[in-house]
Structure 1
Amino acid sequence: MKRWMRSALAGMAALVATVGLAPAAWAAVHIPDCGGENQRVCKWTDQEYYDTGLGSCEYDLKESNGVCVNEKRRIWAGRDAWLEWALKQQRYGISVNEPINWVPHIGGHNAYSSRNQGFGIDQSNQTYSISDQLRMGVRFLEIDPHYSEGQYVVCHNSKQVCLPSYRRRLAYVFDEIRLWLRDNPDEVLFIKLDEHVDDNTAGLGELINHYFRDTVYKRAADPKQWPTVAQVRAAGKQVLLATRNAQISSTTYMWYFDYNYATGRDHPKLFDLGVCTDGDGRATYSRPKWMWSAVAEGRSASNFFDLTGLIPSGQAVAAYLRCGVSVVGLDYLDALSDSAITFFRSYDKDDRVAGSVWTFEPGDYGQAGPVMMRGNTGRWASRPASEPRRFACALVDASQNFQSRGFRVTQAADVWTRGEETCRREFGTGYRFAVPTLPHINDAVLRAAGGSDVWLNYSLVTQRDPIALPGTLQYITPLGLKPTEPREITVYGRTDRPRTLVAKADVDWLQLTWTDGTAVRDQGNRLQVRLAPQAPVDAGEYKGTLSVGYQDGAGTVSQIPVLYRIQPELLIGINPARPVVRQPAEARLTVQLVARVPKMPISGGAVTLRELLTPPSASQPATYRDLGTRNVQGSGVDLKLEFVVPSRSLAQGVHQLVAEYSGGPTYLASRTALTPFEVLPRIEVQPTSVSFSLPPGGPLPAAQALKIAGAQGAVKLGKLPAWAQAQQVGDEWRVGLNTSALQLPAGRHATSFVVSDGQPGENTVPLTLDVQPSASGLPVLYASSGGPRRDGGRDERFVPLRIVNNGPGAAVGVQITSIGVEVLSGSGTVSVRGGLPIALPSIAAGGSATPELLLRWPATATRVRLTLGISANDGSYTATPTLSLIR
């Protein structure tokens, strides 16, 4: 079901349900435990079900045997083995010791706003998912967190409120990135948060800590000291996070990316490639060492009214890199024909990621010998070391000339091994045999070479060969549901000569099948991985390893860890089974967690205690109110968590409580059955409620006696309605009716009164009066328009009605039981949103009621006729009034 359809169906239900749903592992934010990849499917009782638009899984995932698995998250099939190799050589070899703000990055501009992940065509900047963008080579993600309607979401919106059909939970975005980092442990990623959370920064920090805390390279004491990629990897980290919000950047994990640190006017139309100046008028390659230079295009529908300029080709990307730009933000990666605006579309092959390769020539894997630069193109090629060439030389101490490194090219030519001595002989001991490590420096060396080929001092970085992605596999499934959907690994091997792939598993519960055969293909070979029939079925954690290599033993075998975890639910209960508390005391409740599998102790996660506000119905989900969350501390097979519930926070009466466990690594989300919890008032009143029945015209019924105990002073009865009275007689109070009750219309009149003693803890007593209708008088109901219509959303209109009683008798228990809609002029279908029947208040003779309908009413239908089915007085009166309405 498409997201806009889901959202239309969810409507107000989703908004109501957001009021009181539980955080999972942290106190201030909700960590989803369903609907994400490899998580269980969501049920109607889960808040995530409504966040995804009445979906059991995220938009780009599908349900498979109770688990959410890939459907459109990883479908891009354009990967190229050489391009993968060359990008890794640049990032983790050639530029590895440069500050990360100078290293070339292909960026996913508004990477989250993907059509494959549910964003509408008018609000999207990408077609492929974040995962697919990362597979393409993106290493700089721009994410826009918002705090909207009590949730942390991402959306493409300059305003605070994000419409349901154009947003996604931030937690799901972070989890998707986390899974990619887990599967690619040797990669480093930069995430820029263009956040719109205002003062709601604490929850954003908790989400970051939850998903990235073990992988984030934290900000240095001097935020201008950007680390090198080598430093990030040496620290065992993978992620740098930055924001333009100084309030958030003051924390230890966030770097600055504000206008003092990065290009503020980063639109292509403002960039002059002829002289390499950005929108701020600065020469990008001569910027301070600590600054970023960025440029980002805009192809979403919103850019049509504010043209920012486009980056149309790989040639354009290469030009920006030669100018010293370090971040090139691209839209519609490998999907240039998908823009909502025809003007922004292109039907040429998208070579923009390939344009970021500024070093090796296509197809050159560096195997023919050392590296040289071609004097006519500036691209690199491997050649035998015995061939004589001139040498590229740079300053030994480049601290005073960071931007260009002082590169010069020798006049003398020699074999590659004599590069160091030749550089020193011609330029002195202040120079060394070197290699350009950034595109604009490479361009400077090309100019210095004057058309000659020159040797470069570079040794290749060893990479996995073949490359198998993803680098890990996980199967996480509920007990009793074995995953049946195959997982897919794509293997990218070298194609410079014919090779054959082999794969094997070290456990017998994995089955491997080559989809495309074993002869290495340019676009990669797909390896399907399934659980074998003999795979374990008992709860627990099982590990294995896949090995993928070449049949001839060349290259480096890729090892892929496999985790198979079977998760049961917990035994969970609230003790005592029926707690009772008298106001104003506090109730102490214990939630007990018992492991179903002794060998799998409970650890991590959190328990949330919640009160049921409204039970579920066919058209509405249940709604809850949180009463507290406790994190699970330690580990064990029988754990207890105590909750303190102030009785004053709850109304008097019986409440239904439920405790929910979620967020743990070994057990599925689990919940208790509904447990009654009774709150008694400090002042006891017997009976606990008072009711009267009044026949037409009287007589008034006798007063009722109340017995009151627990009062600490003089008792008073207050807030009585005008038609009731109270009198103290001895130790009792008597509540009765007065003559004003005779003037009331037929029907039920429900209210209450208060018993107090001047101290905190009054008792509210329900009071009900049923005025019986006259047998000789029946109502006569008809319908008319109740006023102007108003918009309720996409193709929706709120239509006020007026139901009038022109008969001699009262209409009690009025209900609209049916609504027929006929389009009188125009085209399209008009339908009623919401369920039937619609209950109305009792309508006295001469009175009226004003219900409001929500119709799906497209603008193409200009006039309709409504036929209402109405019943009253326990069905003894029915009517079918009609009315015509203009949109």
Structure 2
Amino acid sequence: MVVALLAILLTSAGTAASRVAAADRAWTDRALALQDRLAGDVPLRNLPWVSTHNSYNSIAEMGLALSVLDPNQQLSLVGQLDAGVRHLEIDVHPPLAPLPDLGLGGATTCHSVCTLEKPFAVVLGEIAGWLRAHPDEVLMLYVESHLAGAAGNAGSDAAAATIAAAFGDLVLRPAGGAGRCTPLPLEQTRERLLASGRRVLLFGPCGSGGAWPSYVFDERGRLTGSDNGRLREPPDCGPDFTRAQYEASPIRYFEDRTVVGALTGGPDPIDAALTRRMVRCGVEIIGFDQLTRDDPRREALVWSWAPGQPAAGDCAVQRPDGRWASRSCDERHRVACRAADGRWSVSERAVTARAAPRECRTPGAVNGVPRTGREGWLLQRAAIGAGDV
């Protein structure tokens, strides 16, 4: 399938499909995978990820340890990866935290109170095994380290050695070297990571010790919203961030569906409607709790293909509802054009695919395909402004 968005349909013929029930799991899996490919050249500052919050905190992952009696997730880490998650969050503590480090062994992955949870090494080994079995995938791991000061710098240095043992040359390592905090590489792309063979990027608090910052980028380039429920529809998308901040930094919102989260006034739940709003605004990291394979929020992340699509035809059009459908490249439609500054426009003439590139006449503009939900929304608005829907 050549994904080449040519135009906007001039009629409402495609809108009936929007009333069809959400497509089955296989279609959602496929649509999310195609969206990942589309965004391959998008810089990290604007690159969307399917994400979970406190990804490790489930009985499926940790067994019957104390901390997972109030879980954030239902699926194991590998189960989440199989469901399309590509951004995981992992907390790392000394064994038996919050007790002082007693020198009882390597770091533990747990939620605040550590008992019988899995060692950090085991958790990373599971993720690394999945990554090696899927050579076309890139992962982003947020590692929230609570090892600073644990047995001096030994805890952080040992955890860095665990990262090296699990991932080896798969890690994109910060260029700053040992002992120096390196900002997130916001111009990095999935395509460049794949080409380099460095398919996992770790970030989090800069931490302590000499070795930790040589494997983990500094988290401060990412911005986290304070109140999910107040996020407004585009183009505003406030009040937490300005549009300039959306364009300059990865934006994260998350929910907390644990009992403790509810009792302490944690962030509001993120439902399917709020997920769609976040996608249109350009939120790159939506930290879901309790995500499952049949979760309607997974389907809500699909901003591109309509249910059942792509089907027959080697080209595609964007319908009035913003979703895509396959079409023959010999059909005539108005052309989607992306300018160098990211703005979208629609050509005046309807042409076939062969003639489409010549219809983008603004200097620097090309016949393009939206790569993110934000770009898809911008193209839809450009079509409305051109009177095409």
TM surpasses 0.5: yes
Contact between 1:96 and 1:229, CA under 8 Å: does it hold in 2?
A: yes
Q: Which residue of 1 aligns with 2:379?
A: 445
Counterpart pick for 1:253 among 195, 215, 223: 215
Larger Rg: 1
Q: Aligned equivalents of 1:381 and 1:197: distance in 2?
A: 50
Partner SS, residue 450 of structure 1 = helix
Contact between 1:217 and 1:237, CA under 8 Å: does it hold in 2?
A: yes
1:368 aligns with 2:313: yes
Contact between 2:315 and 2:329, CA under 8 Å: does it hold in 1?
A: yes
Q: Aligned equivalents of 2:110 and 2:253: distance in 1?
A: 21
Contact between 2:49 and 2:284, CA under 8 Å: does it hold in 1?
A: yes
Q: Which residue of 1 aligns with 2:274?
A: 316
Task: Output one character per residue of 1:44-83: Cα deviation in whole Å (capped at 9) or x when no partner.
Answer: xxxxxxxxxxxxxxxxxxxxxxxxxxxxxxxxxx983322
Contact between 1:266 and 1:294, CA under 8 Å: does it hold in 2?
A: no
Q: Structure 1's 302 and 420: CA in aligned 2 closer, same or farther, altered over 3 A?
A: same
Q: Structure 1's 270 and 363: CA in aligned 2 closer, same or farther, altered over 3 A?
A: same
Contact between 2:142 and 2:202, CA under 8 Å: does it hold in 1?
A: yes
Normalised by the length of structure 2, the TM-score is: 0.81
Counterpart pick for 2:57 among 105, 110, 113: 113
Task: Output one character per residue of 1:716-753: Cα deviation in whole Å (capped at 9) or x when no partner.
Answer: xxxxxxxxxxxxxxxxxxxxxxxxxxxxxxxxxxxxxx
Q: Aligned equivalents of 1:311 and 1:220: distance in 2?
A: 38
Q: Aligned equivalents of 1:288 and 1:451: distance in 2?
A: 23
Q: Which residue of 1 aligns with 2:132?
A: 182
Partner SS, residue 86 of structure 1 = helix
**1:416 Cα deviation from its structure 2 partner:** 2.0
Task: Output one character per residue of 1:230-278: Cα deviation in whole Å (capped at 9) or x when no partner.
Answer: 00000012200001235469733221212xx112444424534463125
Q: Aligned equivalents of 1:98 and 1:295: distance in 2?
A: 20
Partner SS, residue 51 of structure 2 = strand
**1:220 Cα deviation from its structure 2 partner:** 4.5
Q: Structure 1's 232 and 79: CA in aligned 2 closer, same or farther, altered over 3 A?
A: farther
1:170 aligns with 2:170: no
**1:451 Cα deviation from its structure 2 partner:** 8.2
**1:449 Cα deviation from its structure 2 partner:** 0.4
Task: Output one character per residue of 1:197-216: Cα deviation in whole Å (capped at 9) or x when no partner.
Answer: 11321011110011012211
1:87 aligns with 2:47: no
Partner SS, residue 144 of structure 1 = strand
Contact between 2:335 and 2:367, CA under 8 Å: does it hold in 1?
A: yes
Counterpart pick for 1:431 among 339, 361, 365: 365
Q: Structure 1's 265 and 246: CA in aligned 2 closer, same or farther, altered over 3 A?
A: farther
Q: Aligned equivalents of 2:377 and 2:128: distance in 1?
A: 36
Partner SS, residue 378 of structure 1 = coil
Matches within 5 A, 1:292-331: 292-331=250-289
Q: Aligned equivalents of 2:24 and 2:51: distance in 1?
A: 17
Q: Which residue of 2 aligns with 1:217?
A: 172
**1:101 Cα deviation from its structure 2 partner:** 3.5
Matches within 5 A, 1:819-838: none
Q: Aligned equivalents of 1:240 and 1:223: distance in 2?
A: 12
Contact between 2:73 and 2:291, CA under 8 Å: does it hold in 1?
A: yes
1:415 aligns with 2:352: yes
Q: Which residue of 2 aligns with 1:202?
A: 157
Structure ranking higher on relative contact order (CA contacts 8 Å, 6+ apart): 2
1:223 counterpart letter in structure 2: P
Q: Structure 1's 385 and 452: CA in aligned 2 closer, same or farther, altered over 3 A?
A: farther
Q: Aligned equivalents of 2:327 and 2:237: distance in 1?
A: 33
Task: Output one character per residue of 1:758-794: Cα deviation in whole Å (capped at 9) or x when no partner.
Answer: xxxxxxxxxxxxxxxxxxxxxxxxxxxxxxxxxxxxx
Partner SS, residue 46 of structure 2 = coil
Partner SS, residue 330 of structure 2 = coil
Matches within 5 A, 1:95-494: 95-117=39-61, 118=63, 119=65, 122-148=69-95, 149-150=102-103, 151=105, 152-157=107-112, 162-165=113-116, 167-199=117-149, 200-220=155-175, 223-226=183-186, 227-247=188-208, 251-258=213-220, 261-269=221-229, 271-273=231-233, 275-277=236-238, 281-283=240-242, 285-287=243-245, 290-334=248-292, 350-375=295-320, 377-395=321-339, 398=340, 401=341, 405-424=342-361, 427=362, 429-450=363-384
**1:156 Cα deviation from its structure 2 partner:** 1.1
Q: Structure 1's 379 and 164: CA in aligned 2 closer, same or farther, altered over 3 A?
A: same
Q: Aligned equivalents of 2:227 and 2:77: distance in 1?
A: 22
Contact between 2:157 and 2:212, CA under 8 Å: does it hold in 1?
A: no
Q: Aligned equivalents of 1:300 and 1:369: distance in 2?
A: 46
Q: Please state which structure has a larger fraction of its residues in helix.
A: 2
Q: Structure 1's 325 and 220: CA in aligned 2 closer, same or farther, altered over 3 A?
A: farther
Q: Structure 1's 225 and 172: CA in aligned 2 closer, same or farther, altered over 3 A?
A: closer
| Structure 2, gaps ≥5 residues long | 1-22, 96-101, 150-154, 177-181
**1:302 Cα deviation from its structure 2 partner:** 1.2
Q: Aligned equivalents of 1:291 and 1:394: distance in 2?
A: 21
Contact between 1:91 and 1:103, CA under 8 Å: does it hold in 2?
A: no
Partner SS, residue 358 of structure 1 = coil
| Structure 1, gaps ≥5 residues long | 1-77, 336-348, 455-887
Task: Output one character per residue of 1:857-887: Cα deviation in whole Å (capped at 9) or x when no partner.
Answer: xxxxxxxxxxxxxxxxxxxxxxxxxxxxxxx
Partner SS, residue 205 of structure 1 = helix
Q: Structure 1's 367 and 236: CA in aligned 2 closer, same or farther, altered over 3 A?
A: farther
Q: Structure 1's 220 and 378: CA in aligned 2 closer, same or farther, altered over 3 A?
A: farther
**1:315 Cα deviation from its structure 2 partner:** 2.9
Contact between 1:298 and 1:307, CA under 8 Å: does it hold in 2?
A: no
Task: Output one character per residue of 1:652-683: Cα deviation in whole Å (capped at 9) or x when no partner.
Answer: xxxxxxxxxxxxxxxxxxxxxxxxxxxxxxxx
2:109 counterpart letter in structure 1: V
Normalised by the length of structure 1, the TM-score is: 0.37
2:334 counterpart letter in structure 1: R
2:354 counterpart letter in structure 1: T
Q: Aligned equivalents of 2:369 and 2:325: distance in 1?
A: 13
Q: Aligned equivalents of 1:330 and 1:193: distance in 2?
A: 17
Q: Structure 1's 366 and 230: CA in aligned 2 closer, same or farther, altered over 3 A?
A: farther
Partner SS, residue 260 of structure 2 = helix
Q: Aligned equivalents of 2:338 and 2:385: distance in 1?
A: 18
**1:84 Cα deviation from its structure 2 partner:** 2.3
Q: Structure 1's 422 and 194: CA in aligned 2 closer, same or farther, altered over 3 A?
A: same
Contact between 1:408 and 1:445, CA under 8 Å: does it hold in 2?
A: yes
Q: Which residue of 2 aligns with 1:782?
A: none
**1:316 Cα deviation from its structure 2 partner:** 2.1
Q: Structure 1's 266 and 91: CA in aligned 2 closer, same or farther, altered over 3 A?
A: farther
Contact between 1:373 and 1:453, CA under 8 Å: does it hold in 2?
A: no
Q: Structure 1's 264 and 213: CA in aligned 2 closer, same or farther, altered over 3 A?
A: same
Matches within 5 A, 1:789-808: none
Q: Structure 1's 434 and 220: CA in aligned 2 closer, same or farther, altered over 3 A?
A: farther
Contact between 2:246 and 2:283, CA under 8 Å: does it hold in 1?
A: no
1:308 counterpart letter in structure 2: G
Q: Aligned equivalents of 2:40 and 2:303: distance in 1?
A: 15
Quick one: percent identity of the two aligned structures?
A: 27
Partner SS, residue 282 of structure 2 = coil
